[in-house]
Every structure is written in structure tokens, then in C-alpha cells.
């Protein structure tokens, strides 16, 4: 039998049984009458538990270290109320026996704390209740409420920062999961503290009511049932009731102070004692001024000299001690060479994000998965589509909030430089006018940030009407994702670095290892290859067919290392692919050509160029005409393409890039033999 009991006790986990035992004990005290010696033990336990909770709150570094505090607050409140019920039962049943009828603890508080005077006891109890109820509990509850609100409001930004660090490779998946869990626990903690503070307030109200119930009930029972005189009944029952109220109210005050400390603590990596000492007494000038003021007050006739002069002397002692310790601290810091290496290292230099997206605070829900935000998923889709279309993977997009932006603004950066941006209304839809709408819509006029088309911000309820009228209705996340895709297309060359080129070569080597081994770097350096690929991307030519590109470079690299000549050779080989992308499924190609006079002038200028190909006035007229020609061809539903002779193609492409960015310049050598050319416009001066 003994062995069986030993096994049972060994299997019991007292950590898991602590809370159930406490709850069962509370319920038992509400129902079962307790002897006075047990009541004394439980009152002592209540005071001890309150002091332990107070000291734990003083030594914690951050609130989550005491995450069980809201539950502890509830259980201690229930414990105090059950003790009040048990004590009230004994007071009303045996109060005629005198102040010691309810145990020594209640008698001691009734006699010693208030001096045996029940009027003083009532006043002291009232003061304690006012301090607890009006000052500490109300303040702690308000702080908990505000902290819960701000913690919930800050959750999307914190989660977005975690996702950004994860995408940038600063942290791993495990660390990200840990941080998200801490954010959720912090929100739950302050929300629970907001509700738990109501328990303390209710406990204070219940203590007042229990006191008056005991007083009135004791007077009635003492006078009518036990035949005591009014003065005797008032004295005995009042002292018992006051003793019971004070025994319960002092631990309640201690717990309320602990709650206030928990919700007001700021996480700086130190406990409360270290924070107070280091921050209050760190400024020597403050201590000197206060010591002088106290010394002057102590010397004024009629003032209590000893307290003021004693306080001034203590402050001067602190100042002297800190001044004496300062050289030792400086010497200790100077003798630690690690401190300097930890102060400034290469880890302190944060690299620029190759590709970044910054949003105002009203756009945070678009990137918060918890609020249904789809922008991060759209960005991943944009990167995937760009990789499929252009043949290489751009760096991850670092998304972050920026309080310096307007609440509804966003901006896209490439290597830290803003290249695009706009304003987004997260609760509306963007209705884009493609130029053939059938009617008007009510909304806020704007411009599509991606293509510059006229558009309207409309309510979501107008989506069906907008589509019926011919508008293109898109949600805010799609607007930003489309704009990002356009930025990737126009800045692909800047995003192609040596790391991306190495990735392309490794991918090609997995299929054609001999080709890569023979060409790179024996015939062509990786830097030259990168410049050729950047030239192609600058003009919107995908580099998906890396095998053909490297084969053509292997064929022409022995004759020339000029990047423009190598690029022209690659473009000629990729001509059918380029034309197919510009004119999908068309056998006849509508193109613009150069005016004969302008073409002749360019030929002569390029042949005899000394740095200036066109006279400035003529160049300006050609640029203006090219912009008009691009718009005319787009308005006619055609892809703006200019056909020129091979020697002048590179010059024209770079010359027209600013005023006609969507104008593609092809050479005659790039047109496949099975395609017919139809001249629809002429570019002249």
C-alpha cells in the first residue's frame, strides 16, 4: 500500500496541480465553515502571495516574463473574496465572544493597526480603498487599455518588419516564428490586463459592501440574538469587521501596485530597480541643485533643520561617491578593447536594398496577411512573372512602412533611389479609362501610376457598373503590383548584377556545361557578358535564351570585344524572338521608318562624328516628332516600332529613350525573312 502511494505521488506533477488546488480551496472556503486557526493560515498565505507577486513584478525585465499575471490577479481576487466570506461567517456566528472570535490575524489588525478604535479603523480602511480604487487601479486599468490598443495597432507594422527581415535573409524562419509569437503574446497580455484590472476594481467595491454588511448584520445579531448592549456590539463587531477588511485590503493594495508596475514598465533590458537608480541619479547637476535647495530650506528660521539638512547631506554623499567611482569606471571601460570593436563594426553598415517598397501607415493592411492583405502574394507573383518573361530572378522586394510618407502614399526604390511612387486609397477601387468607355462614373479623378491613363477612385459597390461601361477596375494591391512590374521592366538592367549573372551561368551550366566552360571566362569575361545582357534589358529584350546568347558571343568574341558590336550580333540572332514579342501572331509588321533626308544626315554624321551627331535644334525637333509618332501609333492600336539601318540603330534607341520610352528601334537585319513590312509612318524633322 505504501509503495502504491509512493508511486502515485511520484507521478503527480505539482506544477500542473497548483492552480486546480487553489481554485478548489477557494470554492471550499465559500461553502465549508473554517476553524479560526485555518483562517489565520489562509490570511497569512494571502499576504505572503501578494508580497511575492509584488517582488516578482519589481524584478522582471519585460512584461511577458510575468505573462501569468492576469490569471494570478483573478485567482488572488477570488482568494480574498472567499476569505472575506469565511471571515464574515465566523464574525456573524461567534462575534459575541469578543474581538478574538475570528482569529488572531483579524484581532491583531483590529487592535494593533488601528489602535483598537473602530472609528479610526473605518477612516483608515476608507483611505486604503480610495488609494486602491481611485488612484492605483484606475490608473493601471487606463494604462492597460491604452497599451492594448496601441499594441494591436502596431501589430501589422511589427509583422511587416519581421516579414521584411525574413525576406532580406536577416533572420531565419524559426526566429521569425518566435518574433511573431511574442507579438501575439504581447497583444494577448495587455488585452488580458485591461480586463483583469476590472477584477481589482470590483474587489474594492465588494470590500466596502462586505464591511457594511458585517457591521449592520453584526449589530442586529449581537443586540437581538445575543442580548449585547449597543456600545458593546458596536465595538466588538466593528473591530472584527474592520480587521477583516484591512487584512483583505492590504494584500489587494499590494497586488494593485504590482499590476501598475507591470503595465507601466518599459522594456529596456533592466529590472525596475536598476532603471530607477540609473535614470534618477545619473544626472549629477540635478543632484547638486536639489541638495542646494534642501540646504537653503534647512537654514531658514522656523523650518525643521534636521530633516532638510540631513537630506541635503545624503545627496552630497551620493554626489561625492559617484565622483569618486567615475575614474574607476572610465579606467575599466578603457581597459576593455572589445567595447570599441562592438561599438563600430562592419555589421553597423547596413547595405542598400536592391529593390524596396515603402508604404504609408494607411497602406499597412495591404501587406498584413492577418487583415487579408494580398500585396506580398502579388509581389511574389510579379517576381515570378518577370523571371519567366525576362529570364532572370530579381532580388527580393524589401517592404517596410515609412512614417515620413503620406498615409496613403507608396514609393518604389532601386538601390535606395526612388524611381516610382503614387497614392493609393486602400478602401476604394481604381477604374482605369482605356480610351473607349461608354459613359461616366462618379469618383475622384486621378491618373493610373503605371501607364499614365486617366482613372477614377470609386467605391467597391461600383465595380460592376464600371466594368459594364468599359473601365478596367483594379484593387489597390493590383495597382501597386502592376506599377512594380513596370518598374522591373524599365530598370531590369540595374537589377542585373554579377550575382545574377553567376546564377544565369550556373543554370545554363546545368544543361550545357561544355558551352559555359569554353566561353566564360576563356573567350569573354563575366563583366563583358553582364554589359551585353544589360544592353539587351535596357531595350526590353528578354534574356531567356541564354544558350543562343552565349553561342553567338562565342562566335563573335574572337573578332571583337566591343560591347555594342556583340550586342548587335546577339540582337540579330534573337531577331525572330524579338519580333514575335512585339508583333505576336502577325505576318505583316506595321512600322515607322526614318525620313530619307534625316536618314542620310544621320549616316553622314555618324560616319564623321566628333561627339555631336545632330545639331541641337534639329535634335529637339526629332525628339518632339518621335514622341508624337509614338502616341499616334499607340492610339491606332499599333506597337510603336521604328525601323532603321543597323549602323544607326544603337544611336536612335538611346537618343529616343527619354521622349519616346515605349518606341522600340529595330534594324532591318533583325526582321525575319518570313515577315512582311508595312510602313505606316515616317519620322523626320
Domain containing 550 equals: 496-573
Mark whether 365 and 468 lie in a shared domain. yes
Mark whether 52 and 118 lie in a shared domain. yes
Q: What is the pLDDT of residue 363?
A: 85
Residue 270 lies in a domain: no
Residue 339 lies in a domain: no
> Could you give the CA distance from residue 542 to residue 392 in angstroms, rounded to a whole number?
9
The grid coordinates of residue 220 equal 442586529
Mark whether 321 and 395 lie in a shared domain. no
H and E: helices and strands count for the chain? 27, 12
Of 450, 473, 491, the residue at which a domain comes to its end is 491
Q: To the nearest whole percent, how much of the chain has pLDDT over 70?
A: 78
Q: What is the pLDDT of residue 411?
A: 92
DSSP secondary structure of 523-591: TS-HHHHHHHHHHHHHTT-----HHHHHHHHHHHTTT---HHHHHHHHHHHTHHHHHHHHSTT-SEEEE
In this prediction, residue 410 has a pLDDT band, given cuts at 50, 70 and 90, of very high
Residues in the chain: 685
Mark whether 87 and 194 lie in a shared domain. yes
Whole-number average pLDDT of the chain:
77
Q: What angle do CA 671, 674, 677 make, to 5 degrees?
A: 55
Mark whether 188 and 92 lie in a shared domain. yes
Residue 273 lies in a domain: no
Residue 516 lies in a domain: yes
The grid coordinates of residue 385 equal 512573372
Count other C-beta atoms under 10 Å from residue 4's C-beta.
8
Nearest CA among 674, 507, 668, 505 for reference residue 593: 668
Residue 304 lies in a domain: yes
Residue 277 lies in a domain: no
In this prediction, residue 319 has a pLDDT band, given cuts at 50, 70 and 90, of confident
Residue 346 lies in a domain: no
Cross-strand pairs, 412: 357, 420
Residue 646's domain is classified under what CATH number? 3.40.50.12790
Q: Is pLDDT larger for residue 102 or for residue 316?
A: 316
Question: Has residue 122 got a pLDDT over 80?
Answer: no
Question: Has residue 571 got a pLDDT over 80?
Answer: yes
pLDDT tens for residues 222-250? 778 777 777 777 777 777 777 777 777 77
The grid coordinates of residue 24 equal 478548489
pLDDT tens for residues 156-204? 666 676 766 666 666 777 777 777 777 777 767 766 776 666 776 677 7
Q: What is the pLDDT of residue 123?
A: 77
Mark whether 260 and 143 lie in a shared domain. yes
Question: Has residue 71 got a pLDDT over 60?
Answer: yes
Q: What is the mean pLDDT of residues 621-628?
A: 84
Mark whether 68 and 157 lie in a shared domain. yes
| Contact of 412 with 357, CB cutoff 8 Å | yes
Residue 360's domain is classified under what CATH number? 3.40.30.60
Mark whether 589 and 553 lie in a shared domain. no
Q: What is the mean pLDDT of residues 261-265?
A: 71
Give, rounded to a whole angstrom, the gap between the first and last alpha carbons of the chain: 112
Mark whether 237 and 293 lie in a shared domain. no
Mark whether 121 and 188 lie in a shared domain. yes
Mark whether 190 and 317 lie in a shared domain. no
Residue 275 lies in a domain: no
pLDDT tens for residues 438-474? 888 888 888 888 888 889 998 888 888 888 888 888 8
Q: Is pLDDT larger for residue 67 or for residue 478?
A: 478
Of 521, 540, 573, the residue at which a domain comes to its end is 573
Mark whether 606 and 662 lie in a shared domain. yes
Tell me how many domains the chain contains: 5
Q: What is the mean pLDDT of residues 254-281?
A: 66
Amino acid at each position: 500500500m505504501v509503495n502504491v502511494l509512493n508511486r502515485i505521488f511520484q507521478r503527480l506533477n505539482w506544477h500542473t496541480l497548483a492552480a486546480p488546488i487553489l481554485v478548489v480551496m477557494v470554492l471550499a472556503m465559500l461553502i465549508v465553515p473554517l476553524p479560526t486557526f485555518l483562517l489565520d493560515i489562509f490570511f497569512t498565505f494571502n499576504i505572503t502571495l501578494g508580497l511575492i507577486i509584488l517582488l516578482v513584478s519589481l524584478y522582471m525585465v519585460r512584461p511577458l516574463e510575468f505573462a501569468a499575471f492576469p490569471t494570478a490577479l483573478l485567482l488572488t481576487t477570488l482568494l480574498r473574496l472567499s476569505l472575506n466570506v469565511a471571515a464574515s461567517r465566523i464574525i456573524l456566528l461567534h462575534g459575541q465572544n469578543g474581538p478574538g472570535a475570528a482569529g488572531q490575524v483579524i484581532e491583531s489588525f483590529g487592535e494593533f493597526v488601528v489602535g483598537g478604535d473602530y472609528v479610526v479603523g473605518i477612516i483608515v480602511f476608507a483611505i486604503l480603498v480610495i488609494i486602491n480604487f481611485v488612484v492605483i487601479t484606475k490608473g493601471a486599468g487606463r494604462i492597460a487599455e491604452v497599451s492594448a490598443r496601441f499594441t494591436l495597432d502596431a501589430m501589422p507594422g511589427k509583422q511587416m518588419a519581421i516579414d521584411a527581415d525574413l525576406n532580406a535573409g536577416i533572420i531565419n524562419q524559426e526566429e521569425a516564428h518566435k518574433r511573431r509569437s511574442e507579438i501575439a503574446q504581447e497583444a494577448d497580455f495587455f488585452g488580458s490586463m485591461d480586463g483583469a484590472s476590472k477584477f481589482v476594481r470590483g474587489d474594492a467595491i465588494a470590500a466596502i459592501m462586505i464591511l457594511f454588511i458585517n457591521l449592520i448584520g453584526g449589530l442586529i445579531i449581537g443586540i437581538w440574538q445575543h442580548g449585547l448592549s449597543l456600545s458593546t456590539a458596536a465595538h466588538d463587531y466593528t473591530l472584527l469587521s474592520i480587521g477583516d477588511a484591512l487584512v483583505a485590503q492590504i494584500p489587494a493594495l499590494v497586488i494593485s501596485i504590482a499590476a501598475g508596475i507591470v503595465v507601466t514598465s518599459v522594456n529596456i533590458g533592466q529590472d525596475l530597480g536598476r532603471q530607477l537608480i540609473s535614470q534618477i541619479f545619473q544626472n549629477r547637476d540635478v543632484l547638486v541643485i536639489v541638495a542646494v535647495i534642501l540646504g537653503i530650506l534647512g537654514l531658514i528660521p522656523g523650518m525643521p533643520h534636521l530633516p532638510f539638512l540631513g537630506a541635503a547631506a545624503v545627496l552630497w554623499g551620493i554626489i561625492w561617491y559617484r565622483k569618486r567611482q567615475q575614474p574607476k569606471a572610465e579606467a575599466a571601460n578603457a581597459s576593455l578593447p572589445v567595447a570599441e570593436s562592438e561599438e563600430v563594426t562592419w555589421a553597423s553598415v547596413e547595405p542598400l536594398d536592391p529593390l524596396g517598397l515603402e508604404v504609408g501607415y494607411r497602406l499597412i493592411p495591404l501587406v498584413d496577411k492577418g487583415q487579408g492583405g494580398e500585396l506580398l502574394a502579388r509581389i511574389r507573383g510579379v517576381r515570378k512573372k518577370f523571371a519567366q518573361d525576362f529570364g532572370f530572378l530579381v532580388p527580393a522586394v524589401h517592404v517596410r512602412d515609412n512614417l515620413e510618407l503620406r498615409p496613403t502614399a507608396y514609393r518604389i526604390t532601386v538601390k535606395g533611389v526612388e524611381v516610382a511612387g503614387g497614392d493609393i486609397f486602400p478602401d476604394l477601387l481604381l477604374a482605369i479609362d482605356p480610351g473607349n468607355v461608354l459613359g461616366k462614373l462618379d469618383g475622384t479623378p486621378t491618373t493610373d501610376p503605371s501607364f499614365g491613363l486617366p482613372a477614377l477612385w470609386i467605391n467597391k459597390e461600383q465595380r460592376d457598373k464600371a466594368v459594364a461601361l468599359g473601365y478596367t477596375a483594379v484593387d489597390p494591391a493590383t495597382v501597386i503590383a502592376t506599377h512594380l512590374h513596370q518598374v522591373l521592366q524599365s530598370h531590369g538592367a540595374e537589377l542585373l548584377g554579377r550575382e545574377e549573372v553567376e546564377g544565369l551561368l550556373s543554370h545554363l551550366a546545368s544543361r550545357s556545361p561544355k558551352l559555359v566552360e569554353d566561353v566564360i571566362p576563356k573567350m569573354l569575361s563575366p563583366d563583358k557578358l553582364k554589359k551585353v545582357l544589360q544592353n539587351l534589358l535596357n531595350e526590353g529584350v528578354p534574356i531567356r535564351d541564354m544558350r543562343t546568347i552565349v553561342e553567338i558571343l562565342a562566335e563573335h568574341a574572337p573578332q571583337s570585344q566591343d560591347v555594342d558590336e556583340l550586342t548587335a550580333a546577339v540582337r540579330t540572332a534573337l531577331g525572330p524572338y524579338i519580333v514575335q514579342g512585339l508583333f505576336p501572331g502577325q505576318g505583316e509588321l506595321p512600322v515607322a521608318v526614318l525620313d530619307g533626308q534625316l536618314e542620310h544626315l544621320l549616316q553622314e554624321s555618324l560616319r564623321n562624328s566628333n561627339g555631336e551627331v545632330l545639331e541641337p535644334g534639329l535634335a529637339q525637333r526629332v525628339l518632339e516628332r518621335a514622341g508624337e509618332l509614338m502616341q499616334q501609333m499607340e492610339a491606332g492600336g499599333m506597337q510603336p516600332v521604328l525601323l532603321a539601318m543597323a549602323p544607326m540603330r544603337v544611336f536612335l534607341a538611346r537618343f529616343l529613350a527619354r521622349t519616346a520610352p515605349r518606341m522600340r528601334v529595330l534594324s532591318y537585319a533583325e526582321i525575319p525573312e518570313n515577315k512582311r513590312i508595312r510602313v505606316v509612318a515616317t519620322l523626320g524633322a
